[in-house]
Amino acid sequence: MQQKILLVFGTRPEAIKMAPLVKQFSFFPEHFNLKVCVTAQHREMLDQVLDFFEITPHYDLDLMKKGQNLFQLTADIILGMKSVLEEFKPDYVFVHGDTTTSMATALSAFYAGAKVCHVEAGLRTFDKLSPFPEEINRQLTGRISDIHFAPTVLAKENLAKEGTTSRIYVTGNTVIDALFWATQKLVNYEDEEIRYLKSIVDSSKKLILITGHRRENFGDGFLKICRAIKRFAQRTEVQIIYPVHLNPNVQQPVFELLDDLNNVRLIKPLSYPAFVWLMNKSYFILTDSGGVQEEAPSLGKPVLVMRDTTERPEAVDAGTVILVGTNEELILSSCERLLDDHELYQKMAQSHNPYGDGTACERIVNALIN
């Protein structure tokens, strides 16, 4: 008898990490009746991922609105999921990570009597305001969930310390599955964005990739980040490429401080395949992204994380990541050290990725088959 599985996601990072799980479930039609629902908490960036991974959702709530806030978004997800859950009546609802989509969907599934499966469970900073609102989203989702798929042993231990008595599986992170799938496809794949990147990348210089979008860095934090980048850009042997998030709180300081620098390229946000291509070309990465902390080590790229806390301490312990916060001097000195200290660079680039071997989805699906 088939088990009815509903996978729900709404943002680009979720879509990337859930896409290989969609594919893995689809290999077993005799076991699973699979349906995919997107909330479209993000719209355009989500659609790019769906297109690249060749996924057509069965349900699309299309909830993204200009200027949406967390109050309205949470309410809209719960109400939107009600009709989907009543129509499909899934046995298991899979959510991912720490988004508002995941938290609100988990609550909706609980109301509907479905079992909640949490992919990338157990990540914690234990500071409810960092990152905001993600830390509380994942804690609430964890309390609701019936099955937890933890990416690491530490994540499992976090759940156990909170008194979790439901099933916990250590699987690795599905983002590595997605990354391996994408890099294989990119061997014979090129689109307009990748052609553009090829035209602007200066192969005679070391490419430094920068991303930044965290709410907790808005304001003074981004000013410090940009001042550090501006000073680092004085190094003529580097080329800095920064896909700038569309949020005005990011755009204003970035363009004000960095727009007129010769070896800094400020570009539009990239689709997933173009971003993977650029990560692969980079020398090291300066970011506040959680996903990049997991992906970059599998490509051999050291990461400097512009956050004071991380729910991914395994990367710090493994030596693939260094926390630099938003301290201007620490960001600058860490960038310069990675550029100048070949031994440190090689140590970080060659360290083992603690987030898995690309078979997380296989482990997740097997847990339901067995």
pLDDT in tens, 91-130: 999 999 999 999 999 999 999 999 999 999 999 989 998 8
Confirm whether pTM is higher than 0.75: yes
SS3 letters for the chain? CCEEEEEEECCHHHHHHHHHHHHHHHCCCCCEEEEEEECCCCCHHHHHHHHHCCCCCCEECCCCCCCCCHHHHHHHHHHHHHHHHHHHCCCEEEEECCCHHHHHHHHHHHHHCCEEEEECCCCCCCCCCCCCCHHHHHHHHHHHCCEEEECCHHHHHHHHHCCCCCEEEECCCHHHHHHHHHHHHHCCCCCHHHHHHHHHCCCCCEEEEECCCCHHHCCHHHHHHHHHHHHHCCCCCEEEEEECCCCHHHHHHHHHHHCCCCCEEEECCCCHHHHHHHHHHCCEEEECCHHHHHHHHHHCCCEEECCCCCCCHHHHHHCCEEECCCCHHHHHHHHHHHHHCHHHHHHHHCCCCCCCCCCHHHHHHHHHHC
Give the highest mean pLDDT range of 40-54, 73-87, 313-327: 73-87
> Domain limits of the chain?
3-173+356-369, 191-349
Query: What is the dotted CATH code of the domain comprising 3-173+356-369?
Result: 3.40.50.2000
Q: Residue 34: what residue type?
A: L
Which tokens in the block code for residue 52?
């690249």
In this prediction, residues 233-245 reach a mean pLDDT of 95
The angle formed by the CA atoms of residues 106, 157 and 8, to the nearest 5 degrees, is 20
Residue 284: strand pairing partners: 208
Instruction: Please give the backbone phi and psi of residue 103, each rounded to the nearest 5 degrees, phi first.
Output: -65, -50
pLDDT in tens, 156-201: 999 999 999 889 999 999 999 999 999 999 999 999 999 999 999 9
pLDDT tier for residue 43 given thresholds of 50, 70 and 90: confident
Nearest to 211, CA basis, from 284, 299, 314: 284
Which tokens in the block code for residue 260?
């007129």
**Confidence at residue 247, expressed as pLDDT on a 0 to 100 scale:** 81
Look at residue 239 and tell me whether its pLDDT is greater than 90.
Answer: yes
pLDDT tier for residue 2 given thresholds of 50, 70 and 90: very high
**Distances, alpha carbon 156 to alpha carbons 125, 310, 363, in Å:** 14, 16, 15
CATH number among 3.40.50.1970, 3.40.50.880, 3.40.50.2000, 2.30.33.40, domain 191-349: 3.40.50.2000
Q: Which sequence positions are flagged as catalytic?
A: 98, 120, 134, 213, 215, 245
